[in-house]
Amino acid sequence: MTSDEFYTGEKFGFEYPEEYKNIKTKGEIFGESKWWFIGSSEGLFDVAYDLVNKDLKSKLRLIPFAKSQETNALACFDDLYNVYFIVNNAPLNRINWKKRFKLNCFSDFYQGAISGLY
């Protein structure tokens, strides 16, 4: 397990996608984007993980990795590396995840975030 908080999901058996690891290895960041990596704030991963998986009762395990400073939305991976946005504190236990908007990979999220799309 990696020692920094950018990979805290590993303690839950989650293996981060290579795209995410490459961005972190290269030291690339979001630039002028409103998004920032949750791993850059100590202890925030645990708070965000508990919020979406325990407090909001998601039936789909979500691994938070980024947060919007503008909207407070969380970007989360599922186990297949799809990216979902959690925008408010509404319960997630009745969500039909098959019909919910998602991005199919981290690269799509990252490109949209740095271009201002999200």
pLDDT in tens, 11-69: 999 999 999 999 877 776 887 889 999 988 889 999 999 999 999 999 999 999 999 99
Task: State residue 68's pLDDT score.
Answer: 95
Partnered with residue 37 across adjacent β-strands are 66
Mean pLDDT score of the chain:
91
Task: State residue 1's pLDDT score.
Answer: 41
d(C-alpha 118, C-alpha 33), whole Å: 9
| Model confidence at 89: pLDDT above 90 | no
Gyration radius of the chain's alpha carbons: 13
Better-predicted residue by pLDDT, 5 or 113: 113
Task: State residue 3's pLDDT score.
Answer: 43
Task: State residue 72's pLDDT score.
Answer: 92
Of the CA atoms within 13 Å of residue 37, those in its CB half-sphere come to 19
Q: Please state at what angle helix 106-115 crosses helix 18-26, rounded to 10 degrees.
A: 50
Reduce the DSSP state of residue 77 to 3 states and report it. Answer: strand
Look up the domain containing 26 and give its range. Answer: 5-115
- pTM for the whole structure: 0.91
> How many structural domains does the chain have?
1
d(C-alpha 116, C-alpha 113), whole Å: 5
Task: State residue 77's pLDDT score.
Answer: 98
